Amino acid sequence: MGPAWGLFVVLKGIFEGYGDPLFVVTDAVVRRKVYPLVKPLLPAHKLLVLPAGEGAKVLDEVARIWTWLGAQGADRQAVLVALGGGAVSDVAGFAAATYLRGIRWVAMPTTLLAMCDAAYGGKTGINLGGAKNQVGAFWAPEAVVSEPRWLETLPYGELLSGWAEVLKHALLQGPEAWARIRTMECDDAAGWPYAIALSQEVKQRIVAEDPREQGLRRALNLGHTLGHALEGFFLHAGTPILHGQAVALGMLGEAWVAHRQGACGAELLAEIEEAVLCQYPLLPYEKADIAALVRLLAKDKKRLGTQLRYVALHQPGRYDIDATLTPAEARQAFAYLM
Ligand SMILES: NC(=O)c1ccc[n+]([C@@H]2O[C@H](COP(=O)([O-])OP(=O)(O)OC[C@H]3O[C@@H](n4cnc5c(N)ncnc54)[C@H](O)[C@@H]3O)[C@@H](O)[C@H]2O)c1
């Protein structure tokens, strides 16, 4: 009895009691790389294939899912399955939230980022007019099925992107998780089951305390204040970088600020520096670009009036979600990251 049998039993348990057919939405790459492994384990289903990547997160593709469901006679009892990365789960989850005012859906994430982050928390949505996640809904999946072996075909860059969230979750969890994760490498398959289980636990715990992002959930923004500015800068420069690379370097920059403010000890800062820089290269910006990076921070959704906010790490598992940083501190942090 191989591992596929175990997965078959899990899927059977989840899908038992759901009417058939299931409606499976995936993307063109996952259709080739993962769907062949899953197809024999799924009950009777229809399949819709979207473009890979952010091209799936557009209104036209949502309309295509709605129209397809309608044409297949999907009713209120229908169950949508999102098989793919965060782009597929965001758009398919949003279609499920809105079709017939909401039908059930199941996430089957196939990227490290989706297994560790996007499939949990109930946020669904699409991009609009160049703005990320401009339209969406909170609509949690009924179940999430993760199988680490599906990551075997995922390119290294995508693993690296998801790993930044794993580092973040370990820092939010506590000393034991951080000690274990900080020496692991993103492409070491032996570490995936622990990294995924840890991330699910941390994200689900924090989301359960604050499902609508009113307060505590801001902890999940660790690294994202400086990270979003870095991501935005390189996007505008026409040389986009991986979200995970921006978040990893953002976490390091923010730990440096927290250290300067007396919150984060030198030892933890050194550990974060080692964990980040051994996998993520520094970014090619120059001193003259720092003013533009700081200007991007002023557009951060998390700011309070003119105050820049970030999550200040004190120790693994201890942090302040209402910390602030000055433009001068931000400038120095970007200089430190060069
Ligand atoms: N809803 C949330 O809470 C949340 C959280 C984080 C990110 N997101 C969203 O998730 C999206 C990014 O997700 P992502 O990083 O998973 O990217 P993605 O879904 O775009 O997938 C990245 C690439 O990997 C391919 N791929 C997926 N699984 C594969 C596999 N097993 N083998 C080979 N190739 C595979 C995809 O086809 C795609 O080309 C963004 O749109 C982001 O806004 C949402």
Q: Residue 6 — pLDDT band, cuts 50, 70, 90? A: confident
Of 130, 153, 176, the last residue of a domain is 153
Indicate which residue's Cα is closest to atom 18 of ligand 1: 85
The yes-or-no verdict on residue 226 having pLDDT over 80 is yes
My answer on whether 132 and 212 are in the same domain is no
Instruction: Express as a percent the part of the chain with pLDDT over 90.
Output: 85
My answer on whether 184 and 81 are in the same domain is no
How many other CB atoms sit within 10 Å of the CB of residue 103? 20
> Averaged over 143-158, what is the pLDDT?
95
Of 138, 153, 168, the last residue of a domain is 153
The yes-or-no verdict on residue 3 having pLDDT over 70 is no
* pLDDT tens, position by position, 258-293: 999 999 999 999 999 999 999 999 999 999 999 999
Residue 19 has a pLDDT of: 77
Is 165 a pocket residue for ligand 1 (Cβ < 6 Å)? no
128 compared with 195, residue with greater pLDDT: 195
Is 97 a pocket residue for ligand 1 (Cβ < 6 Å)? no
Average pLDDT, the chain: 94
SS3 79: strand
* pLDDT tens, position by position, 90-119: 999 999 999 999 999 999 999 999 999 999
Of 153, 184, 219, the last residue of a domain is 153
My answer on whether 226 and 267 are in the same domain is yes
Q: How far is the CA of 111 from the centre of ligand 1 (A)?
A: 6
SS3 210: coil
My answer on whether 145 and 189 are in the same domain is no
My answer on whether 173 and 137 are in the same domain is no
* pLDDT tens, position by position, 37-53: 999 999 999 999 999 99
SS3 291: helix
My answer on whether 142 and 273 are in the same domain is no
Q: What is the CATH number of the domain that holds 270?
A: 1.20.1090.10
Q: How far is the CA of 117 from the centre of ligand 1 (A)?
A: 10
My answer on whether 124 and 221 are in the same domain is no
Is 115 a pocket residue for ligand 1 (Cβ < 6 Å)? no
The yes-or-no verdict on residue 229 having pLDDT over 60 is yes
Q: How far apart are CA 100 and CA 246, in angstroms?
A: 38
SS3 19: coil
Q: What is the CATH number of the domain that holds 60?
A: 3.40.50.1970
Question: Ligand 1, from 25, 26, 30, 203: best to mutate by most atoms within 8 Å of Cβ?
Answer: 30
The yes-or-no verdict on residue 338 having pLDDT over 90 is yes
Question: What's 238's DSSP letter?
Answer: T
> Averaged over 76-84, what is the pLDDT?
96
How many domains, the chain? Answer: 2
The yes-or-no verdict on residue 1 having pLDDT over 60 is no
Is 33 a pocket residue for ligand 1 (Cβ < 6 Å)? yes
Contact 272, 336 (CB under 8 A): no
My answer on whether 294 and 195 are in the same domain is yes
My answer on whether 191 and 311 are in the same domain is yes
User: What is the per-residue DSSP string for 104-138?
Assistant: EEEEEE-SHHIIIIITSSSEEEEEETTEEEEEEEE
The parent domain of residue 177 ranges over: 159-336
Q: Residue 307 — pLDDT band, cuts 50, 70, 90? A: confident
Q: How far is the CA of 307 from the centre of ligand 1 (A)?
A: 32
Residue 190 has a pLDDT of: 96
Contact 65, 47 (CB under 8 A): no
Secondary structure E strands in the chain: 22-27, 45-50, 79-84, 104-109, 123-128, 131-138, 143-144, 308-315, 318-325
Question: Ligand 1, from 38, 108, 113: best to mutate by most atoms within 8 Å of Cβ?
Answer: 113
My answer on whether 139 and 208 are in the same domain is no
The yes-or-no verdict on residue 305 having pLDDT over 80 is no
Q: How far apart are CA 219 and CA 216, in angstroms?
A: 6
My answer on whether 225 and 148 are in the same domain is no
My answer on whether 17 and 112 are in the same domain is yes
Q: How far is the CA of 55 from the centre of ligand 1 (A)?
A: 11
